Amino acid sequence: MTFLDTFSRGPGAVWTNQYPGQPKKDREKSVEHYESEDELFLGVWDGDRLIAEGSICLGRKNHPWVALKADFALTVLEEYTSLGIGTVILKELEKWAIKKGAHRITAMVRHSNKRGIGLYLKSGYQIEGIARETAFFNNEWQHSYYIAKIIPKQ
């Protein structure tokens, strides 16, 4: 919670759904997510400071069509970008998804997030589509790319 609050006030927050002054997340609901077998949360620390966070969750476990799909999110504080942290987190999220039997891993990335797009493309993700004008910041509309990676049958 502290990380998200701190992160939302920094320059990198424009690449996420975090924003300054957002309501605090419900602690009990958050704990449920953290303890779920169908979700994974990873953090990278610099001393006692959380500097990056990644999460991934499986689709609805008992749903016949989306149970093997996993969605991820990845956030790194601006001053720690381009150090390979995002690559390490993404690989760990993917390992978890593969172990859980995921067939497809997906996310959204803003079109102007060049570092994020570069990371995902070099990691084997493909841009599958675009959602136009999904966020308004810095006095302009931002588009979001839908990205995905298909996991070959093991």
Q: Compute mean pLDDT per 10 residues along the chain, 154 residues long, and list them.
A: 60 55 65 74 88 88 78 90 95 96 94 92 97 88 96 82
- Residue 144's pLDDT is 94
What's the whole-model pTM score? 0.81
* Residue 62: predicted pLDDT: 76
CA distance 122 to 20: 31
Q: What integer pLDDT is reported at residue 50 of this predicted model? A: 84
Give CA–CA dist 13/83, Å, rounded.
Answer: 18
> How much is the pLDDT for 8?
56
Give pLDDT, residue 21.
Answer: 62
What gap in Å lies between CA 86 and CA 16, rounded to an integer? 14
Q: Give the pairing type, strands 39-46 and 69-76.
A: unpaired
Domain parsing of the chain, residue ranges = 2-150
As a dihedral over the C-alpha atoms of residue 127, residue 129, residue 135, residue 137, rounded to 10 degrees, the angle is 50
Q: Which CATH architecture has domain 2-150?
A: 3-Layer(aba) Sandwich (3.40)
Instruction: Give the C-alpha distances (Å, rounded to integers) separating 85 from 18, 33, 74, 94, 126.
Output: 20, 23, 10, 14, 21
How confident is the model at residue 49, as a pLDDT?
83
